[in-house]
Structure 1
C-alpha cells in the first residue's frame, strides 16, 4: 500500500499576497531610470548644439586682488644714435669703419666739394668789396660833415662882418655923417648874412644825415654779405664729419672714395652711455600709459633695474603701440643694441574684486556676455566687466564666486543661448 503526502501537509493561516505588491519595487526602479533618462534627454534637447569640451578653456570666477600691469619683452635701442649726412655733393673719404670707438670732435669722414669751396672764395671776395665800399661811405660821411661845418663857419663869419658894418653905419648915422640910405643897406646885408647862416646850418645837417644814411646802407650790405660768408664757411666746415659725442660708429652707408649726393647718409654714431628699451603694448592698455610712469626692467642675469616711461607713440600699428622706457638710475653694464630685456609696468591694484582669467571672450562679445558652465551645459548670461590686466579681468556683475565660464572657444557657439558640452 503506497502512502500519500497528506501526513506532510500543514494548514497555512497567512493570506495570499496581492499581485501589485509583487511589482512595486521593480516599477519604482524603472521609473527612476526613466526619469534619469528623461533628464538627460531634456538637457540634450534644451541645448541647441553639442561641442567637444577639449576644444574649450573653462575658468572659475574667484574673489581677490587684481593687479593691473603690463609685462612685455623689449629690445635695447640707443637713445641717441644720429645719422650724419653729406651737406653737399662730393667725394667722400672715410676715416673710420663700423664698430670703431670714437671721441667727441674726432674726424669721421671728409667730403671734397670743389663747388662749395669755390662758392666760399667768391663770397669772401664779394665781402671784401662791400667792406671797402662801407669804409669809403663812412669816409665820405666824415668829409660831408666837415664840409658842412666849414660852410657854416664861413656863413657865421659873414654874419659877424655884416653886424660890425651895421654898427659902424649906425654910429655914423647917429652923428649925421652917414645918410639913411647907407644905414638901410647895411641892415639888409645883415639880414642876408643871417639867412645864409641859417641855410648853411640846414645844408650841413642834411649833408651829414645823407652821408650817415649812405654809410649805414653800405655797412648793412657788408654785414649781410658777412653772414653769407659765415654760412658758406659753416657748410665748408661741415664737409668734415665729426663725432657729436663719445660713442661708437654704427652702420656706414657710404663707400670709400665715391661720389655722394647732397643730403646722402654717410654713417651713424651710437651713444653707448644712454640706452632705452623699446616695447610693444596692446592697444587696450595704451590709454593707461603716461610719460614718467615707473617700470621695472630685468636683464638676462635676472637683476632688476628701475626705469620709467620715456615716450609713447601716438599711432597704433597692428593693434599695438610702441613705448620707450629709460633707466631712472643706472643701466646694466655691457648693453648692446637689439639685446632683449623684460619690462614690467605696474598700472594699479584693485583689492577684493570679483575676477576671472582673461580670454578671447572679452573681445568676442565686448565683455557683455559669458557662457556659464553647469554640468554638461553652457548657458549664455549677460555680464558686466571692469578693468583688465594681461591675465585677468574684473567682473562687475552677472557672475558669482565659484561659477565657471568659458573663456576660450566660445566663438564656436555662435548666437546659441544654450549649448551642450561633451
Structure 2
C-alpha cells in the first residue's frame, strides 16, 4: 500500500480563524460614524464660540481691500438742452397777431408776433402832445430871455450915455469955474449930476445881469420839463415798439403759448425761441458730490454713437431737490453736429485722483457703518473700527483699520445688528 499524507495534516477550526476578522468588520463603521459625529460637534462648538449668530453667505457681499489709485468721478445721464431759450412776453394787454408757428426757423430781428394795444398807443399820442406843448414853452422862455437881455442892454446903454453927458457937463463947468465965468453952485450941480449918472449906470448894469440870469433860469426850467417829457415819450415809444415781438437771435420757434387773435393780459407768455447753435447738457448730481463740483471742472460727454467730446461744468444749481443738484455741462470745443433738444448723453466728471491708497468696493456699509466695518476672519465676520476717506461712485478710500488683502462685508452688514462676531456660512 502507498501511504498518503493524511497522517501529516492537522485539523484547524474555521470559527476560530475568522473570529478576529469578523470583529473588525463589525466595529469599523460605527467607529467612523462616531469620529464624524465628534468632528461635527467640535466644529459646531468652535463656530458657536466664535460667533453669536450665523448668516448665509448669499445674503451678504464681501469685497477685498486693495491698494491702488482711486479715481473720484461722477457718471450721470444728461439731457441736451438749449443754452439760450428765452420766452417772449406781452409787454401790455392787447390782441396778439402771430406771424410764425412752432418749429419755424427765424433770423435775428424777424417779426414773430404783433400785439395791438390801443391803450398804449393812445398813451403815446398823449405824451407826444404834452411834449410838443412843453417844447413850445421852452422856446417861448428862450425868446423871453433874449428880449429881457435886449431890454437890459438898452437900459444899460442909455445909462452909460447919460453918464458920459454928465461927465462932459462937469468938465465944461469946471473950466468955466476956473475962468470965473461959472458960479460954484453950478459946478456943484454938475458934480451931483455925474454922481447920479454913475449910480444909474451901476444899477442898470446890475439889473441887466439879474434879469439875464432870471430869464436863463426860466428858460432852463422849461427846457428841463421838456427833456423830462421827452424821456417819458421815449419810454412809451419803447413799449409801443416792444409790442412787436422780434427774434433775439438766429434760431427756431419753440413752444407757442398764445392763440392767434386772442386778447392777452399784460406780461402773459407768447412764445419761446431756441438757439440751435449752442447746446448744453443738464445732469442731476447726488447731494453728496455736489459740494465738490465747481464751474470750469473738466468733463467728458458721450453720445449715442459712443464718441466722446470734451466739456466743462458751466453752472451748478444752489438748490437741492429730492437729494439731487442740477448742473450744466457745456462743450469745451465745437459741439457735435445733429444735436437735438432733450437728446440723451452720458456725462463723466473727473473730480480728482488719489494715488496709491487702500480702497475697497463701495457699498451700504459706508453709510450704515458709522466708522466700523465687518472684516472676515475665515468664516467669521468681526466688527472692527475703520477710518474712511474720500469716496467715488464705485470705490471708497480706507485710511486705517484694515490691511490690503483683508475682506470686508460691504453689503448686508445691517443684518448683523451690531454684533461683535457673526458666522457667515
TM-score (norm 1): 0.91
Residue ranges of structure 1 left out of the alignment (5+ in a row)? 10-22
Change (3 A) 1:33 1:184: same
The answer on whether the counterparts of 2:50 and 2:380 sit within 8 Å (CA) in structure 1 is: no
Structure 2 distance, partners of 1:247, 1:412, is 58
- Residues in 2 aligned to 1:243 and 1:7: alpha-carbon distance in whole angstroms: 129
Q: Report the Cα offset of residue 27 of structure 1.
A: 9.5
The answer for the alignment partner of 1:93 in structure 2 is 97
Does 2:178 correspond to 1:164?
no
Aligned partners of 1:371 and 1:163: how far apart in 2? Answer: 123
Task: Give, in whole Å, the separation in 2 of the partners of 1:91 and 1:400.
Answer: 76
Whether the 8 Å CA contact 1:299–1:332 is kept in 2: the answer is no
**How far apart are 1:420 and its partner, in Å?**
2.3
**Separation (CA, whole Å) in 1 of partners of 2:296 and 2:324:** 20
Q: Which residue of 2 aligns with 1:140?
A: 144
Q: Which residue of 2 aligns with 1:243?
A: 247
- Could you tell me which of 208, 223, 228 is aligned with 2:212? 208
CA RMSD, 1 decimal: 2.2
**1:379 — aligned with what?**
382
Question: Structure 2: which 5+ runs fail to align?
Answer: 1-6, 14-26
Deviation at 1:42, TM superposition (A): 3.7
Residue 230 (structure 2) pairs with residue 226 (structure 1): yes
Distance 1:29-1:401 versus aligned 2 partners, 3 A rule:
farther
Q: Which of 354, 358, 370 is the aligned partner of 2:358?
A: 354
Q: How does 1:22-37 map to 2 (within 5 A)?
A: 34=38, 37=41
Equivalent residue, structure 2, for 1:113: 117
Alpha-carbon distance, 1:175 to partner: 0.8
Comparing 81-90 with 26-35, greater Cα deviation is found at 26-35
Shifted more, 381-390 versus 48-57: the winner is: 48-57
Determine the C-alpha separation between the residues in 2 that align with 1:77 and 1:239. Answer: 28
In structure 1, C-alpha distance between the alignment counterparts of 2:37 and 2:54, rounded to whole Å: 23
Q: State the distance in 1 between where 2:138 and 2:72 align.
A: 73
For residues 313-358 of structure 1, the C-alpha deviation after alignment (integer angstroms, 9 at most, x for no partner) is 1122222111110001111111111110011111222222111001
The answer to whether the Cα contact below 8 Å between 1:92 and 1:112 also exists between their aligned partners in 2 is yes
- CA apart distance, 1:289: 1.3
Q: What does the per-residue CA deviation read over 1:142-162, in whole Å, with 9 as the maximum and x for residues that have no partner?
A: 111111111110000010011
Cα separation, 1, equivalents of 2:293 and 2:93: 45
Q: Given the superposition, is the C-alpha separation of residues 201 and 420 from structure 1 closer, same or farther in structure 2, using an over 3 Å criterion?
A: same
CA distance in 1, matches of 2:419, 2:293: 38
In structure 2, C-alpha distance between the alignment counterparts of 1:415 and 1:339, rounded to whole Å:
47
Q: Which residue of 2 aligns with 1:14?
A: none
Question: 1 CA distance for matches of 2:54 and 2:218?
Answer: 100
CA distance in 2: counterparts of 1:315 and 1:417, whole angstroms: 41
Distance change (3 Å), C-alpha of 1:7 and 1:315: closer
Q: Distance in 2 between matches of 1:62 and 1:272?
A: 48
Deviation at 1:31, TM superposition (A): 7.7
1:7-26 mapped onto 2 (5 Å cutoff): none
Q: How does 1:61-72 map to 2 (within 5 A)?
A: 61-72=65-76
Identify the residue that residue 277 of structure 1 maps to in structure 2. 281
Contact preservation (8 Å) 2:88, 2:271: yes
Count of matched residue pairs: 403
- SS in structure 2 at match of 1:129: helix
Query: Any conservation in 2 of the 1:50–1:419 contact (CA below 8 Å)?
Result: yes
Of 123, 129, 135, 1:131 maps to 135
Does residue 1:44 correspond to 2:61, yes or no?
no
- State the match for 1:412 in structure 2: 415
Indicate yes or no: 2:380 matched with 1:392: no
Alpha-carbon displacement from aligned partner over 1:335-387 (angstroms, at most 9, x marks no partner): 11111001111122222211100111111134x11111233321111001111
Query: Which of 86, 92, 113 is equivalent to 1:82?
Result: 86
Task: Give the CA deviation at 1:39.
Answer: 4.1
Superposed displacement of residue 415, structure 1: 2.1
Q: Per-residue displacement from partner, 1:257-288 (whole Å, max 9, x unpaired)?
A: 11110000000000000000011111221122
Which residue of 1 is the match for residue 77 of structure 2? 73
